[in-house]
Structure 1
Amino acid sequence: MIEDITTKHARAYFTFIKASSWMEKKIKGALKPFGITHVQLNVLHILYRNAPEPVSVNSIKEQLLDSNPDVTRLLDRLTKKGFISRETCPNNRRRIDITLTKEGEAILYEAHKRAKISVGDFFEKKITEEEAIELKRIIDKIIK
């Protein structure tokens, strides 16, 4: 018998994994009508947060919530949809500057609103502010 899978820590781990899966499923369903993924939404958010300044590919890689090794293909898809633009940096021809288009900003706004609602307004409908602070503290402790 495997005894260590019944400990309180093990149960917390499995609950954490279940919660993560639940959130990803909720967000995936909310984003489906917009034809974008959670990672693509994250890229749009990074660009919005930095606007009007362009963002380099490396900076996007560093800021992604999910480590995605194929950022180039991710950016290709967003460019094809008209949500981002890519231009060669005038000061450094080896650097590509990425910016959010008006279409990308509109999709970000609507998709973010739908995703937020899907997980209980970032848990506002499920936990108190104090619980949110404690949850963040515990998660930060786990991932650092």
Structure 2
Amino acid sequence: MATERLTELEDEAWRGFLVTHERIWREMEAGLVPLGVSMAEYSVLGLLGEAGRDGMRLTELAELRMMSTGGFSRLADRLEKRGLIERRRVPTDGRGYEIALTRTGRSLLRAAWKQQHADIQRLFLGRLSDEQLRALSGVWASLADREGDRRR
């Protein structure tokens, strides 16, 4: 049975992405350890921070995090037990929940953002020229083009 193989250039690009992603992810996650927050928890806190004081629906957060509602609900339970978020029933829908940051959650998010900002600069942005950043932004835009996926 014949199998398709990556060209040398394709293999170099793919492996480079995987290795670099893993290294940066691990170093950024390590930066959050002293704050007692994981990357998954930080991303949820960040989304809630962007949503403002009204928060977001649990289902919307799960979708944005690309998690099942059940998996996200367990993550939200952990954050709620730590006093970082609060869950409220949606007034117009008795079955739905909104989640918002607590004062403690907002404080932790500010500290985590400072750490993440420093790490993003040190591990990623600070190592690339403006030209490289523009090229990389174009790559991400091409890969995010879901319309192109449907045409194939």
Q: Could you tell me how far 1:5 is from its partner in structure 2?
A: 5.1
Separation in 2 of the partners of 1:14 and 1:127?
19
Distance 1:36 1:87, change over 3 A: same
Q: Could you tell me how far 1:82 is from its partner in structure 2?
A: 0.7
- Contact kept, 8 Å, 1:26 with 1:119, in 2: the verdict is no
Task: Write the deviation string for residues 66-87 of structure 1: whole angstroms up to 9, x where unpaired.
Answer: x333100110011011110001
- Contact kept, 8 Å, 2:24 with 2:123, in 1: the verdict is no
| Residue ranges of structure 2 left out of the alignment (5+ in a row) | 146-152
Distance 1:108 1:127, change over 3 A: same
Distance 1:3 1:43, change over 3 A: closer
Which one-letter code corresponds to 1:112 in the other structure?
W
Q: Which residue of 2 aligns with 1:42?
A: 43
Q: Could you tell me how far 1:116 is from its partner in structure 2?
A: 2.2
After TM superposition, the structure 1 = structure 2 runs for residues 92-111 of structure 1, keeping only pairs within 5 Å, are: 92-111=93-112
Separation in 1 of the partners of 2:117 and 2:56?
25
Distance 1:119 1:22, change over 3 A: farther
- Contact kept, 8 Å, 1:47 with 1:55, in 2: the verdict is yes
Distance 1:134 1:88, change over 3 A: same
Distance 1:100 1:122, change over 3 A: farther
- Contact kept, 8 Å, 2:35 with 2:112, in 1: the verdict is yes
Larger fraction in helix: 2
TM-score by length of 1: 0.88
Separation in 2 of the partners of 1:49 and 1:16?
28
After TM superposition, the structure 1 = structure 2 runs for residues 1-144 of structure 1, keeping only pairs within 5 Å, are: 4=5, 7-64=8-65, 67-69=66-68, 70-121=71-122, 123-144=124-145
Q: Could you tell me how far 1:101 is from its partner in structure 2?
A: 0.8
- Contact kept, 8 Å, 1:53 with 1:99, in 2: the verdict is yes
Q: RMSD of the alignment, in Å? A: 1.9
User: Is 77-86 or 112-121 further displaced after alignment?
Assistant: 112-121
Which one-letter code corresponds to 1:137 in the other structure?
G
Larger of the two Rg values belongs to structure = 2
> Number of residues paired by the alignment?
141
| Residue ranges of structure 1 left out of the alignment (5+ in a row) | none
Distance 1:122 1:51, change over 3 A: farther
TM-score by length of 2: 0.83
SS at match of 1:106: helix
